[in-house]
Structure 1
Amino acid sequence: MGGTPELRGHRVVVAGAERAARHAVARCRALGADVTPAVAPSSLATLDPALRRASLVVAVDDGNPGWDILPALCRERRILLVRERPAPDAGSVTLVGGGPGAADLVTVRGAEALARADVVFYDRLGPYGTVAGLAPGAELVDVGKLPGHHKVPQLLIERLVVEAALAGKSVVRLKGGDPFVFGRGGEEVAACVAAGISVTVVPGITSAVSVPGAAGIPVTHRGVSRMFTVASGHQPFSEAELEHLAGLGGTIVVLMGVGTLPQTVGGLLRHGLDPATPAAIVERGFSDTQRSTVARIDGLVVAAGLAGCTSPAVVVIGDVVAVGADAAAELAGYAPAGARR
């Protein structure tokens, strides 16, 4: 991983036992610094030339009182001193919900977990394009899935995560959206618990709500819809599921539903959904290429084909789409075809 230029050209001394200081060493190197580790206070005498040339000393609290001399040395030599917590001794796993894709929608807690990570296993959804900046110094492992193709099977992902934690590493499993909304987070937690590994879950902003919102579509709206149902379209719905969805009312949000759109739409219409119901497909939410395709439900499949809609996308079905479409029409000066006012 190439270092970003924040510390390029600077000499940094990281003071602390090797294991406790490993995060600080990796992070400073990832930021481009010339790093000299000092693993014990006794090494300071031999590091004197490095200290004289250093512009920064990172003191890691490893419990050794011998480092108490550092503040005086840094004052004497006019070197900036910063203090840092030690990296944990035992391995652990943190499941982080990365949100819908924008790096600034990762929660503060999630960003802190990434900053402390030794290794990050990440998907193609969420903020995968900026993971190097969120986890400087960490080993980055792409285990992302593409529609119809899982280059790293789920059981292998779980095994890799567990093995890294058992090796004593701080592991982050970075997932798009929220780990427990069709993210198989429960399976990964179960694998960690079975191996006796400490595991923490950091919630994320689910695309089921945020992506429609980014397109101006509220999943609930006073006087229009007081409920919403989130479903996975990864596999075709059963007839019983389609009947239930068609009769439930409110808003239907389908994730991973582009590939099964014809079956979903056909089944909802077959089970009595009003053909004039507004619907939308919002592609690549929160990206520079975000796009919405709006139509009546009975014309959605044709509209999606003409527009060339592809994953990742969120399908929204219900009268709330017209609420959002009206707002978009007022701003853009046009009325989307098929959107009911």
Structure 2
Amino acid sequence: MEKLLLITLSIITTIESNPVINPRQKVMLLADIDQLCSKLVVIDNMFFKFDIQKNVSGIPADMNVHWKTGNVFFTLISEEMKMNIVVLHNSGELEIIKVAGLGQSTSVDNLNDIVYLATDNGVYKYKDDGSFEQYTAIGEDVMYLTVSADGSAMFIATWPQNRVLKITNDGQKIELFPAIPNGHGLTIDTRDNIYFVATKTSYVLKNGESIPIKIKGLPSNKMTGIFVSRSDAVYAMDENSNLFIVNAETARYLGSFGIEGVNSFAMDAADNVLIGVKGAVLKFTALEQNPCIGYTKTENQEDTTEYKRHKSRHSHRKHARATTSTTEAVEEEYEEELEEE
């Protein structure tokens, strides 16, 4: 995040403080700013820059992030509907976790730095060296799981029984949890409210209550999941990448990332947003400040910067260059600027 801001400020400073910069250099530098600012996503006074696209062979589902390492865990579903648990390392390397049984999904206890794996053979703990050990054997396929904020309780959803179990005492005590009939995408916030999705509709079981309620303000039949950020904020996203913030039983729309076909999303320790779509994991880097401030034109605002004057002067040429490459466009603009001078 800081690196991106420094790069932007460096470009701006170079343009504004260097009186001898030639037209070609100026056009190239302005093109860099234009590329950055044209892809900036603004959501409720938060700024995100599209950063990385990691291609995968299938659909990423049920993403979770280990905040300490930055590793992203998700279920990769192939076209043949085969599932593997995959870890996307902070280095960018993809690794299939070869766990006993069929890997279904994951959950991360970030307080205690423990990654849990849900399989058709029970629940396992995943270790940093790539090994794993069994946490508890259920005798049922574990499809989804989540861990309470303090790590003392685990909730798992099983199949084909379609029921939720509560596990305590370090995996030794198992009891039926009838308040949630079917826990797709189980998530717990720091107040021990339990969120889940049924038929792509989000519900919450508030701490101390026995009947879950539908979360107001979220679209029905379109939700992909709910995620609790490191700052304890609860976010939800639908399949059209519309982002919402959830306050117990109500939600407020924040904005959209402009991505369709979202299957899963998560946030890392720096609130960078990861979005899973068919064939890729997309990363949007969070910025504390708008790196393009002063370089975007607003209504009734006079063009006072060189960048604004440049964009206004050449805006009528953009359509003609729409099918040319970026390099060709910059070269053409450089030649035109030389002719004008």
Sort the TM-score into its range (normalised by shorter chain).
under 0.3
Larger radius of gyration: 1
Choose between structure 1 and 2: higher helix proportion: 1
Choose between structure 1 and 2: higher strand proportion: 2
Relative contact order: is structure 1 or structure 2 higher (C-alpha 8 Å, sep ≥ 6)?
A: 2
